[in-house]
Amino acid sequence: MKVLFLGSGTSTGVPVIGCRCEVCTSTDPRNKRLRSSVLVSTHSTKLLVDSGPDLRAQALKFGFTAIDAVIYTHEHLDHVAGFDDLRAFCWERDELLPLYAGEGCLARLREMYPWALAEKQTYRGYVRARCLCHGGAAFRVGDIEVQPVRVIHAAVETYGYVFRSADGASFGYVPDIKELPPESAPMLRGLDALAMDGLCFPPHRTHLCVDETVALMRELKPGRGYITHSGHRLEYSALTAYLPDFISPAYDGLELCL
């Protein structure tokens, strides 16, 4: 199973428009962060997690042209606003594109994009999708098993996911989280790799800060940990030096082979 980080940034992206800070003006490509998203794939299955506002740029930059499903973490705009660019992934397929999400996120998508998600669709050029509410229960797409993991983040229903391939490789992805409910913790324990929210150094109201993420990862003990959904106060090299050996910052274009 492979995991490609399409974006590792928070909702503003990095650089932030108009900001002249050290990170926003850095020439290190690992300090440039599109909005958070990953592509999880095996030889036969490709899953896109979220369709953020940078989806078009990400598809062009990384050259992916077909996906088997989109899996949504939650309804915040930095995770859904690229929805309309899913059109390009629908034109070449006969079946509807499956969209997996929790109930809250699907309701929001239906409100935001009624022309595409209406019961009776009128135009073939729109996103042609099938909404599948997972309700927190595990599901399978192709040869990848997906376990939703309910987490606490802002006031909206939010999920992280654990992806498992047929050969037993496991990857956990939790880009937006403030708190891990005790009943969700066992699902994220002992994974081969785990990528989690690490927005900044100071504590934040709706996201884990770096020290909280490190503490949580020490408990969950992944083979490797990755910090993602990061803001412009985190400089790649400085953060790498700060983190314990088993955790690295994710960056756009980072690919894991599990």
Query: Per rule CB under 5 A, is residue 54 in the interface with Zn ion?
Result: no
- What is d(CA 161, CA 134) in angstroms, rounded to the nearest whole number? 11
- What is d(CA 171, CA 222) in angstroms, rounded to the nearest whole number? 9
- What is d(CA 228, CA 37) in angstroms, rounded to the nearest whole number? 9
Q: Quick one: which of 78, 85, 192, 212 contacts Zn ion (CB under 5 A)?
A: 78
Window contacting Zn ion (CB under 5 A); options: 78-86, 93-101, 108-116, 132-140: 78-86
Q: Quick one: which of 30, 32, 33, 76 contacts Zn ion (CB under 5 A)?
A: 76
Query: Per rule CB under 5 A, is residue 178 in the interface with Zn ion?
Result: no
The CA-to-CA distance between both ends of the chain, in Å, stands at: 5
Smallest distance from Zn ion to CB 113, Å: 18
Nearer to Zn ion, 1 or 196 (CB): 196
Q: Measuring CA to CA, which residue among 30, 90, 27, 89 is closest to residue 55?
A: 89
Window contacting Zn ion (CB under 5 A); options: 26-34, 116-124, 171-179, 185-193: 171-179
Size of the site for Zn ion (CB under 5 A): 8
Q: Which residues contact 136 (CB under 8 A, 6 or more apart)?
A: 102, 148, 150, 159
Residues 225-254 that bind Zn ion (CB under 5 A): 232
Query: Per rule CB under 5 A, is residue 68 in the interface with Zn ion?
Result: no
Query: Per rule CB under 5 A, is residue 24 in the interface with Zn ion?
Result: yes
User: Which stretches of the chain bind Zn ion, using CB under 5 A?
Assistant: 16, 19, 21, 24, 76, 78, 176, 232
